[in-house]
């Protein structure tokens, strides 16, 4: 009832899981990951205890295959399970129990494991694998989502669509650098969950990641005056108050007179105030 990809980034700094299913809130069941350890997906007749158990095995130094073997050895329901694991060094393992509903299967390669059950056919897994291997220049989260979308385009879950999720971890990548959750997004019930997940990833990028140098526009006195005027036309005392109200703190330099503003945020502000008659 689910298809997923579990992977490590080529630079060895991130681990992630992307998953979709005709199942409510698949992101609450399938994925787990810890930076510096690895990631996994537990699906079909999912054994959610696998998440903590597998990560514990990886923490003890087990490879992905050894961790998987230990999970299965201790589980009498193993023939109903499907699992994908990627370890610290990008080693990967996948397993499909004999009782998983057709079509069911998986593939592994350097740094990734792809698996699915109740699929339109093996072409789903093949498309995901091909997309992952070919799209090496994309940012890690985008690459995971692209692989998932390729599986969906190839037929995905043959019962239809309902939910999807994307989990990416990297040391210090979480909010204010206080945990490892680089991306943690879920679409629990939607007619087109992958399109919605892509939209949420765009918003995540805008609101929860810092601007790159190439995205920054220097704020001179003239632009600062424009920013203040536009913010006031939207009902804010200062431009800084507008930034805070819209959660753009990671896309504008701190201070009442910021040194730079993200080009996307500048465009958003200008578009928002065009109908107010404010000109830049």
In the chain, where the domains are located: 2-208, 214-274
pLDDT at 259: 97
- Cα–Cα distances in angstroms (integers) from residue 266 to residues 209, 216, 221, 229, in the given order: 16, 10, 15, 13
Other CB atoms within 10 A of residue 177 CB: 9
> Collapsing DSSP states into helix, strand and coil, what is residue 108?
strand
pLDDT at 135: 87
Which residue stretches of 60-121 are H helix?
Answer: 64-73
pTM of the model: 0.93
Q: Which pair of tokens denotes residue 270? A: 């200008």
Residue 160 backbone zone (phi > 0: left; psi -120 to 50: alpha; other: beta): left
Task: Give me the CATH code for the 2-208 domain, please.
Answer: 3.60.20.10
pLDDT at 280: 54
pLDDT at 198: 98
Are 82 and 44 a contacting pair, CB within 8 Å? yes
- Give the pLDDT of the chain (280 residues) as one tens digit per residue: 799 999 999 999 999 999 999 999 999 999 999 999 999 999 999 999 999 999 999 999 999 999 999 999 999 999 999 999 999 999 999 999 999 999 999 999 999 999 999 999 999 999 999 999 998 999 999 999 999 999 999 999 999 999 999 999 999 998 878 899 999 999 999 999 999 999 999 999 999 999 999 999 999 999 999 999 999 999 999 999 999 999 999 999 999 899 999 999 999 999 999 865 555 5
pLDDT at 279: 56
pLDDT at 199: 98
Q: Closest by alpha carbon to 43, among 83, 98, 100, 97?
A: 83
Q: What is the length of the chain?
A: 280
Q: Which pair of tokens denotes residue 97? A: 């129990």
Buried b / exposed e over 5-44, threshold 16 CB at 10 Å, is bbbbbeeeebbbbbbbbbbeebbebbbbbbbebbbbbbbb
Are 247 and 208 a contacting pair, CB within 8 Å? no
């Amino acid at each position: 009832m689910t298809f997923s990809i579990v992977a490590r980034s080529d630079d060895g700094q991130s681990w992630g899981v992307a998953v979709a299913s005709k199942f409510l809130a698949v992101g609450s069941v399938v994925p787990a990951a810890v930076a510096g350890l690895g990631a996994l997906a537990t699906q079909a007749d999912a054994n959610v205890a696998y998440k903590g158990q597998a990560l514990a095995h990886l923490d003890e130094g087990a490879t992905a295959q050894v961790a998987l073997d230990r999970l299965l050895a201790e589980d009498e329901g193993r023939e109903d399970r499907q699992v994908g694991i990627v370890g610290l060094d990008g080693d990967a393992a996948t397993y499909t129990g004999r009782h998983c509903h057709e079509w069911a299967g998986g593939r592994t390669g350097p740094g990734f494991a792809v698996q699915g059950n109740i699929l339109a056919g093996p072409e789903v897994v093949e498309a995901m694998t091909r997309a992952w291997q070919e799209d090496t220049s994309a940012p890690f989260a985008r690459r995971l989502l692209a692989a998932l979308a390729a599986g969906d385009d190839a037929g995905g879950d043959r019962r239809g669509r309902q939910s999807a999720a994307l989990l990416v971890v990297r040391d210090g990548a979480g909010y204010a650098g206080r945990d490892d959750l680089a991306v943690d997004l879920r679409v629990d019930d939607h007619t087109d969950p992958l399109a919605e997940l892509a939209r949420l990833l765009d918003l995540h990028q805008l609101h929860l990641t810092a601007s790159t140098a190439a995205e920054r526009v220097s704020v001179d006195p003239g632009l600062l005056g424009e920013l203040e005027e536009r913010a006031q036309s939207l009902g804010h005392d200062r431009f800084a108050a507008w930034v805070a109200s819209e959660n753009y703190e990671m896309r504008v330099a701190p201070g009442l007179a910021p040194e730079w503003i993200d080009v996307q945020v500048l465009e958003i502000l200008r578009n928002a105030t065009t109908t107010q008659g404010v000109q830049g």
